[in-house]
Amino acid sequence: MSIEHRAWEVVLQSIELDLLSGRLRPGDHLPPERALAAELGVGRSSVREAIRVLEVLGLLRTSAGSGPTSGAIIVALPGGGMSALMRLQVAAQGFPVADVVKTRLVLEASVVTELAEASARAAATMDANAALHPDLSTPALLLGAMDSPALSEAEFLALDAEFHLALATASGNQVVTATMAGLRSAIEGYVRAGATGLASWPDTSTRLRAEHRAIIHAIEAGDPPAARRLVQSHIAGYYAETHLANHLPDNYADDHTDATGHPVGR
């Protein structure tokens, strides 16, 4: 029946079917490797290869020892897998850096637009219930943390990454959040390398902080076009300044993603 001929693919398919059928759910333990090998009629090494793949893809976590926290446990943390995939694809030249930056621009514009629209909607219904407002507490916290003058470039950029990721998280879209995390980590090396070549890091970091605040403000004000425009110039501006995106088209930072539109509202 199976198209799969390699033993480890049989194991992978078996686990995927168990996930789809609900026999395995997040939090569950996989059977011990030896038991799984015996059950499927393959060697333990084949089981291990399949488990290794699932671990890298962020589907499970393994730990040795005994007790309830040991063994292979189903988790669904796509961020790590997405990061590994995109980082390696960039390293192997399958993903041009320019495409990574462009995609990030599209997704982040969509994120802040959605957040601003949610804000506007919450305000329009004169809702006293804070639950309808997007939760911007984490981004706000990071905003404050980035104001510390003692931060090194690397520390600031780490907080910056967290800030943008927190926005994606606030939008509530898991796929977008994981993808953004992957995109960011894929070009992390380039971002950091670019920062060292800046004319004045204090000037740049000051500008970045101001832009962050402006983006948050536009979201809270319920102004989607402004939020979108600000986030686009924020990202494109940094990459332009660091010469990261040298061969990007001239109209790269134009506000044509206005036109990308996206599924909004709920």
Q: Contacting a second copy (CB under 8 A), which of 109, 122, 143, 195?
A: 109
CB-CB contact of 130 with 199 (8 Å) = no
For a second copy, which is the closer residue by CB, 109 or 143? 109
Q: Contacting a second copy (CB under 8 A), which of 26, 39, 217, 243?
A: 26
3-state secondary structure of 106: helix
For a second copy, which is the closer residue by CB, 60 or 143? 60
Least separation in angstroms between CB 67 and a second copy: 20
Burial 78-97 (b: 16+ CB within 10 A, else e): bbbbbbbbbbeebeeeebeb
115, interface contact from a second copy, DNA, none, CB < 5-8 Å by kind: none
Least separation in angstroms between CB 227 and a second copy: 9
176, interface contact from a second copy, DNA, none, CB < 5-8 Å by kind: a second copy
74, interface contact from a second copy, DNA, none, CB < 5-8 Å by kind: a second copy
For a second copy, which is the closer residue by CB, 205 or 232? 232
Question: Per CB under 8 A, does 252 bind a second copy?
Answer: yes
For DNA, which is the closer residue by CB, 3 or 124? 3
CB-CB contact of 75 with 59 (8 Å) = yes
Least separation in angstroms between CB 28 and DNA: 12
Question: Per CB under 8 A, does 228 bind a second copy?
Answer: yes
φ and ψ of 132, to 5 deg? -75, -20
Rounded (5°) CA angle 229-231-236 = 95
Structure tokens at 104: 């990030």
Q: Which helix H or strand E contains 183, and what residues bound it?
A: helix 174-186
DSSP assignment letter at 258: G
